[in-house]
C-alpha cells in the first residue's frame, strides 16, 4: 500500500478530526444548532447528527462547513492530516508555521516554472500523485542544498 493511501479506519479517524475541528469552531462562534442548520441548508436533525458524529461527513458537507465557518482549508488539512490534531488549527504558532510553509512552497513552485506558484500548480489538469511527489522531491533537494550552502564552515550537519 502506498503511503498516501488510508485504511477505512484511518479515513474514519481523519473525518472525525475534521468533525471535531468544525464543532470546535462552531462552539467558538457561538452558533446554536438551529443557526448552524440554517447556514448549512440542512435539517436540524441532520445537523445534530453531524455534530455528534453519528452521520458521516461527505465532501460537499465538509466544503459547506468550511464556507459557513470561515475555515482555512489548507491550515485545516495541515492540522488534520499532518499534525493529526484538530486543536492544532487554533494554535497561533501553528497558524504562523502553516503560513510560512505555504509561502516557502509557493516560492519554490515559482522557481520550478509555475509562474503563479501554487495557483498554477493546483489548476493544472495533469496533477498526479507522481507529479506532486517529483515536485516535492525537487523542492526538498533545493531546500537541503540551500541550507547546506548557508551554513558557516564547521557548522554543518554531522
Q: What is the domain partition of the chain in residue ranges?
A: 1-90, 92-151
Determine the pLDDT at residue 109.
Answer: 73
Q: Give the residue carrying C-alpha cell 506532486.
A: 132
What digits encode the pLDDT tens for the residues 26-64? Answer: 999 999 999 999 999 999 999 999 999 999 999 899 999
pLDDT value at residue 146:
63
Read off the DSSP letter of residue 78.
I
Does the global pTM surpass 0.75? no
- pLDDT band, residue 157 (cuts 50/70/90): very low
pLDDT of the residue at 26:
97
Cα three-residue angle 143-135-5, rounded to 5 degrees = 115
**What SS3 string covers 35-70?**
HHHHHHCCCHHHHHHHHHCCCCCCHHHHHHHHHHHC
Task: Give me the helix-helix angle, 8-28 and 59-69, nearest 10°.
Answer: 20
Q: What is the average pLDDT across 70-79?
A: 92
For residue 148, name the pLDDT band (cuts at 50, 70, 90): low
For position 147, what pLDDT does the model report? 57
| pLDDT at residue 124, rounded to an integer | 61
Amino acid at each position: 500500500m502506498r503511503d498516501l493511501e488510508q485504511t477505512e479506519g484511518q479515513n474514519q479517524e481523519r473525518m472525525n478530526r475534521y468533525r471535531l475541528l468544525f464543532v470546535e469552531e462552531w462552539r467558538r462562534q457561538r452558533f446554536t444548532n438551529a443557526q448552524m442548520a440554517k447556514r448549512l441548508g440542512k435539517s436540524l436533525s441532520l445537523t445534530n447528527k453531524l455534530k455528534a458524529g453519528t452521520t458521516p461527513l461527505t465532501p460537499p458537507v465538509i466544503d459547506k462547513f468550511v464556507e459557513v465557518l470561515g475555515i482555512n482549508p489548507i491550515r485545516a488539512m495541515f492540522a488534520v492530516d499532518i499534525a493529526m490534531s484538530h486543536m492544532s488549527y487554533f494554535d497561533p504558532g501553528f497558524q504562523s508555521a502553516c503560513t510560512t510553509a505555504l509561502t516557502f512552497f509557493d516560492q519554490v513552485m515559482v522557481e520550478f516554472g509555475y509562474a503563479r506558484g501554487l495557483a498554477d500548480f493546483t489548476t493544472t489538469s495533469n496533477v498526479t500523485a507522481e507529479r506532486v511527489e517529483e515536485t516535492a522531491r525537487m523542492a526538498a533537494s533545493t531546500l537541503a542544498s540551500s541550507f547546506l550552502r548557508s551554513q558557516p564552515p564547521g557548522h554543518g550537519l554531522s
